[in-house]
Structure 1
Amino acid sequence: MLLRRARRRPHARTSSRLFATYAAASLVPVVALGALVLHSYRNDAAEQGRAQGLAQAAVIAEMAVAPALNTEDRTGGAGIDDGLTTEQSDGMREATEQAIFRGSVLRLRLRSFSGRVLFSDDGSTSGGVPVADADFQAAANGESRATVIGTEVIRVLQPLVASASGQSVGVIELYLPYRAIADRFHAQVSRTWWRIGGGLAALYLVLALLAWWTTRSLSRYAARQEHQAMHDILTGLPNRAAFRKRAEAVLREGGTGAIVLSDLNRFKEVNDTLGHHAGDELLRMVAGRMRAALGPDDLLARLGGDEFAIMLPGRSAAEAVALLNEVRNRITAEMILDGVPLNIEAAFGVSVYPEHGTQLKELKQHADFAMYQGKRGAAGIVVYSGDGAGHPHQWLVIQAELRHALEREELILHYQPKVALPGGEVCGVEALVRWQHPQRGLLPPGEFLPAAEHSGLIVPLTEWVLRRALADQVGWAATGKEWTLSVNVSPRNLEVPGFPEFVEELLVASGIPPHRLILEITETALAGDTDEVVRAITELGRYGIGISVDDFGTGYTSLSHLRGLPITEIKIDRAFVADVARDQQSQAIVRSVIELAHGLGSRATAEGVETPEVRRWLAEAGCDEAQGYLFGRPVPWPQISVNEQTAHVEGVTR
């Protein structure tokens, strides 16, 4: 949205500059061509003048000078250095006066090879072309030379040739008028120049039009290329690069605002069941709905896949959440894809600047962490709190270290007891993984499980927990403890092909009966309702393995998600258990869950039991099992026997 502003003007200015450059560049060869043509015509005119001067000089020499000198008789083929006779001088004067009078000759000199002026029309005996001049030497050797001087005169050096011997006997220096030739040439050039100029002007106009069309085409092409480089082709939204560019510019300006990351729930299911064309149409519809809910100064971008980013300049966390609620409501409204009614959900993670950071990378990491928390829990919109463990900027480090931890056996298991109500005897344990970090000490699961679940590491981690927990179960079974073992599994584990078979093989290898293993699955995993998850749960139930729905009541599981699944246990979330002894709403919810579990043929287990009052109320309400600090904290399994006695005694006496 903000990126759309001020798009055309820079391209228009660029196009104008490019056109001006192109036009100027086109003008250069046109002008050069015109100058070349003009120069060529001038050279042609000069050459024509020289040719005409040579021809005229040859006529004068043959028809006027030679008869006047009577060179045959006078020189006999020799030079004329001895000078002219009176008769020859008179003849030359008469011939010259007639030529000068008619204007065909401006000046005439007759010179010997030594340069001596033997005759001049003005009577002078000096001056003229120096003997050392190349033209004079050429004329002395029998070669005529003509030179245009300025625009008025053609100078011709013509050899005087004796008719008897055919050899030069002197040099005739003629100055002939060039103006008439120049005028004729100028008229000819003017006509030609107008024709050529018109043609060149037409050529330049064509080149200018081509330049204009080309620059506009290039400008439009550049604009399209820039738009494609900065926008998502499918939705038309700014892409990751455009979002980064604009968001970083806004952050540099200071102020407050929010960065939001969002992705769609069950998008893979749409692609798998309806096809990728339906997935593309879904993305287009979601993009349109999100854009319609945002303001003109808000920036919406598609980062890739089903992930979107939003920048909300000038908005507080509360304002951002209020706006995102509107966005979410629009997204969740029913849509029709290929004739199938569909409701889509989305998770939103929010980070606020400058409170949560001033750099885009940091803000996106925090928003991504909040979004991940939203996908795991009931809230679809989560604002980064700043106090969560395992921040995203540490996840890459944690993931790398966790791989080594699996190889070096740095992980350990603690177990929290589950007691039967109302008696209080230990009937089962839940395996909880801990990391004995070589530098940071013993780490709880919240420090590393989010990073593991955000990557593929959760799969080998869960497999390690299952192997180790079953080995420990063999140990306590050998001491006569018939406890069930509960192990948490991620939706990713259930989506791995062959996971039920893997678990069944572990049970066979350890000799543990399948009903004594319970796999705990979060409610949100069931809400996803993907085919892989349902298929895996059904297959595990067929093997006789128990299935527990963890954190029930915090997600958005409907009864349709539970129907038909082999659910062994429903665990009531601690949020409803903590104040159940005095809060009527919590009491109503817990009673409903207990009745639901019993109606499905499952056990009801309460989490987070910390006071005798809560324990007593749960027992009276018909809850089957309980778990919490009242009965024991997570410890290595050999220590549970001590806590078992305490839990049983405390439960009975209180």
Structure 2
Amino acid sequence: MGKTTWVVVTAAVVAVVFSAGFIVVGDDEPAVSVMTNAASVLFAAFATVCAGRAARSTAGRKRLVWLSICIGLGGWLVGSFLWAYFELVTDIPPFPSVADLGYLVFPIGACIGLALYPVGHPGQSRTRLVLDGLIAAAALFQISWVMVLRDTYEADDTSRFAFGLSLAYPVCDLVVITVAVLAQTRARAGQRRTLTFLTLGVVVMALSDSAFVYLTAAGTYEDEIGRVVDVGYLVGLLVIAVAALLAVDEPATEPSLVRVPSRLALWLPYVPVAVAAAVCTPTNLHESGMAPLFLSTLVLVTAVLLRQFFVVRENRRLLDLVAEQALRDPLTGLANRALFNDRLSHAMQLHVRDRQPVAVLSLDLDDFKLVNDNLGHPAGDQLLVLAAQRILGCVRAGDTVARVGGDEFAVLLEGKTEHSRQVARRLMASFDEQFVIDGHDLLLRPSIGLAVATGDDATVSAEALLKHADLAMYSAKRSRTGGVHTFDPEMTRTRPKGTGKVGNAGTSTVRLLGQLRNTIDHAGLSLVYQPKFGLRDGEFVGVEALVRWPHPERGLLGPDKFLPLVREYGLMRSLTDLVVERALEDVARWKANGVRVPVAVNMFAPSLCDLELPKRILRSLDERDLSPDLLTIEITEDLLLDDVDRTRQVLDSLRGRGTRVAIDDFGSGYSALGYLCELPIDEVKLDRQFIAPIVDDARAAAVVRAVVDLAHELGMTVVAEGVENDDTTTMLRDYGCDVAQGFHFSPPLAGAELCDLLRRLTSPEPASSRSS
């Protein structure tokens, strides 16, 4: 057991001992008096110390709460000490006496403390809480006066001061009880344990006060029933002390969303008013001449109450609307970030308690800024609404979908992990259909990240789970490979970068980009093949795969029309995988027809940082029973490599399995010589702009000759691109260039046309390249 539990148990045992002592001493009045006063002082001191400790251990408004209650309990302690002194040491009657001033400090301190208690939401009126307490107290006092106190007042022969002082106790207690109950109705889940004990202790003290006043007026307090009242005081003090001890261990008050007050909190203060009217009406109607005045007063009060009823109902309806709007995105109607975080926190609490899996999906629309910039913000808003509808169509009724940013959405999923993966797949598939915005067909794909807290993982927090989903989403956005990226701890080592450069594209570019994504996703691109020939013997040595886009409206588009979009918007890996798969399919078909055709495939330099690339390529070759030396990977040299060391590791892995590596468009960039030194290269392909001027420009010819000699010194094959005439071919042959390609030999051919070319060649078996 914890320290707080031991203290509470000890105090409870002491209370039981004192209670048992009352029974043991029986009718021994002096002994009962000593025990009663000693217990009162002891328990009041204990409760005061506990409240003081709570005030010292808490902060902010809670410190003021317990400081006020501590002062109230301190007043009770002083009153108990003075009462004991008057009763045991002197002959001065303890009631009424200066001790009552100390006792009355308690309900005032308790009332202030309860009114200050941080319940509800910031900004909620605390003055109204006190006023509600006064209304209820006044009504309850009227009831008590008519039913009990008036007869006692008229029959009592004590001074009016003593009687007024005795009435101060129940009046103050009624206010405290009402404020305590109303505070309890406002309490949030995390506050109710402490506040329940505090309310219970205050109520027990108030009931004991009322019983004391009644029994004193009736002259029966000194009987055995008075001992029960004394025990009630002790119990009340003990329960308040427990509340103070619980407050010490209670976490800091969590920020709360704005919540509409319950109907109980709104109408509870008026219940005693209605009861008071029902009790007082018959009595006042019997008074001479009071009937007309009382009836008019009753009509007036009823009208005021009815008007208040309608005002409160209208205000509540407005509060419902405001609270709903405060937690909803005004554009899409989805939950906003505040509501999503609130529900995520609650879900994580259930996750810790019940081991229930929780998943968060983070979703961001790719290239959404293009829509805003080129079609306008109204079109962007319309797109967000349509996207929200698609997301809602993929989740269950109990799942939470929120718009947490401009084009960012989040989904909270509770339950089986497999369900969250199914929802993620449905979400991705739902965006395959184009959006129709202002007459434009737009295809925007999302980047989706998934983070899951399994039932066995009770350590992850709500903030961490949301951050993990964001990291996975950024990973998906960087790769632009489609699908859903699930969080992996490795992602924390890579800082999220931007979503890519957004150029000054017009509406046509937005449409073209969407169409390109759709075409790549559905393998709608085609390949043509540029034949390559050995310059020494003229033998066919292989082909280079070139991608084309058969656009339904613009006709056959060359790579210069769409590769800039591929580079700029992160479609490189998707396009590369498509080209490799399609090229190897054709190579396998040619092999089945008895023709061995090595193929070269262009690959953007940044793609070579992917350590999984060799495994994917080898798997594709094995699936088609193709030898790795039938494939040459050509690095597009006009793009800089992100990580040379990582790229070298990938290329070594490829070459170790027999795949060849070439630098494409050598001379078009600035890093060529560095690549020759740092990377394992088999071939150097001279750029067409490097080759074209050699016939007329001696300096260009000298540079080409030097590059050929350098490549041979490094053990590399040299391939010339864009050879257009016989003079260029002759010079390249004289320089020792190994292979050439260009329109002088053959234009790019479709697969069927390439087969016809191979049949026309004199050699049925094409020779391999110089280094194969």
TM-score band, normalised by shorter chain: 0.3 to 0.5
Q: TM-score, normalised by structure 2?
A: 0.32
Of Structure 1 and Structure 2, which has the larger fraction of its residues in helix? 2
Larger Rg: 1
Greater RCO (CA < 8 Å, at least 6 residues apart) = 1
Structure 1 length normalisation: TM-score? 0.38
